Structure 1
Amino acid sequence: MRKTIITAFLTVASFVGTAHADTATYNIDPTHTYVTFEVTHFGTSTNRGRFDKKEGTVVLDMAAQSGKVDLAIDTRSINTGHAAFDQHLQTTDFFDSVKYPAARFTADKISFRGEKISEVKGELTLLGKTRPVLLKATNFNCYMNPIIKHEVCGGDFETTIQRTQWGMNWGLDYGVPDTVKLVIQVEAVKQ
């Protein structure tokens, strides 16, 4: 009986060890990760901008098809290619970057289609408010990077949000749209 209990314990311990062996942490590569936004300009053209400073981690268990994301975005690093516009976006009219220097996206619900991530359900914290956001994957892949000799996983993700959900109301009465498209290109290096 004692031998059976020990064998059962070792079998369970072995299974638990194997289950955790598929979980890997990936550090977001800031040189291959871009967080951009698009907003129409009075129905005529599209204004675009990006955040140049971001950091975070992705934890993936490909076998269990699960994972987590934690992405921090420095709102002071906004870059539209136009300094005056960048400064305005950092004011209390929009990102209030002095009071809220960081936005954060966290997620613990990653869905797969086959071996590819199809969507990431999480929460975006902006201007001190946290709201649910669903990112749809338009591309996903993992590969062995021949230069750094580490596995890299990443893809392109997008969603559309209503900025007023976070209290960003400036310009609505002038015709500045509430709808903002977010496009996130991310690559992360396995640790």
Structure 2
Amino acid sequence: MKKLSAALAFASLAAGSALAAPVTYSVDSSHTFPRFSYSHFGYSTQLSSFSNTTGKVVFDAEAKTGSVDIEIDMTSVNTGSTVFNGHIQAEDFFHTAKFPKATFTSTKVVFEGDKPKTIEGNLTIKGVSKPVTLTVTGFQAMPHPMMKKPALGANAFTTIKRSEFNAGKYAPYVGDEVRIDIAIEAVAQ
């Protein structure tokens, strides 16, 4: 009887572990928008965004682990002005002719309870990689009501110095400190 109970307990444990596998999610580009903001000569805080972002998120709710790999098309920048979109893609800023993509690759996800609290990783802009920590301000993982698939979404932010990524023209008059916010949604593959 003890052997049967032990076998059932082991089978139950093994089945539970199989159900708790990580899920890979593809970034939903139509609902994922990185934004950045900075001081413009102290007059105002300028807000801009990128309209083309791809990547994947791996999330294991049971194990409380995850990873994030994001690629931002820097040529998809939207400053609100066609002229300035071209200006900010020049060599002194994004230099999109040589560096059309920026990436974020996580190295560690820190959980608070059942939800990610921070995501540490490497941000690469203009070929320069620096460690950053994203602070997660909102997170939801649940079945998508329209697609009927597992989905997740989050909001997070970090602050960088653009001069550390070789994009510091006009600093400090145009703020060197840049806040990056990202609203991301992803659907299970």
* Map of 2:91 onto structure 1: 92
1:144 aligned partner, one-letter code: P
1:181 aligned partner, one-letter code: R
1:122 aligned partner, one-letter code: G
What is the deviation of 1:20? 7.9
1:134 aligned partner, one-letter code: T
What is the deviation of 1:161? 0.6
Partner of 1:160, secondary structure, is: strand
Count residues with an aligned counterpart.
182
Q: Give 5+ residue unaligned stretches, structure 2.
A: none
2:56 aligned partner, one-letter code: T
What is the deviation of 1:149? 0.5
**Contact map agreement 1:67 1:108 (CA 8 A) in 2:** no
Q: Give per-residue Cα distances to partners, 1:13-46, cap 9 Å, x unaligned.
A: x749926842110000011111000011111211
* Map of 1:74 onto structure 2: 73
Partner of 2:29, secondary structure, is: coil
Tell me how far apart the structure 2 counterparts of residues 19 and 172 of structure 1 sit (CA, whole Å): 53
Structure 2 length-normalised TM: 0.89
4+ runs deviating over 6 angstroms: none
**Contact map agreement 1:135 1:157 (CA 8 A) in 2:** yes
Structure 1 length-normalised TM: 0.89
* Map of 2:149 onto structure 1: 150
What is the deviation of 1:143? 2.0
What is the deviation of 1:108? 2.9
**Contact map agreement 2:121 2:133 (CA 8 A) in 1:** yes
Q: Superposition pairs for residues 13-92 of structure 1, below 5 Å?
A: 15=14, 18=17, 21-92=20-91
Q: Give per-residue Cα distances to partners, 1:152-175, cap 9 Å, x unaligned.
A: 1111000111111111121116x1
RMSD between aligned residues:
2.1
**Contact map agreement 1:144 1:151 (CA 8 A) in 2:** yes
Q: Give per-residue Cα distances to partners, 1:109-134, cap 9 Å, x unaligned.
A: 11111111111000001111110010
Tell me how far apart the structure 1 counterparts of residues 154 and 50 of structure 2 sit (CA, whole Å): 17
The answer as to 2:113 corresponding to 1:114 is: yes
* Map of 2:127 onto structure 1: 128
Deviates more, 1:107-116 or 1:127-136: 107-116
Tell me how far apart the structure 1 counterparts of residues 176 and 132 of structure 2 sit (CA, whole Å): 15
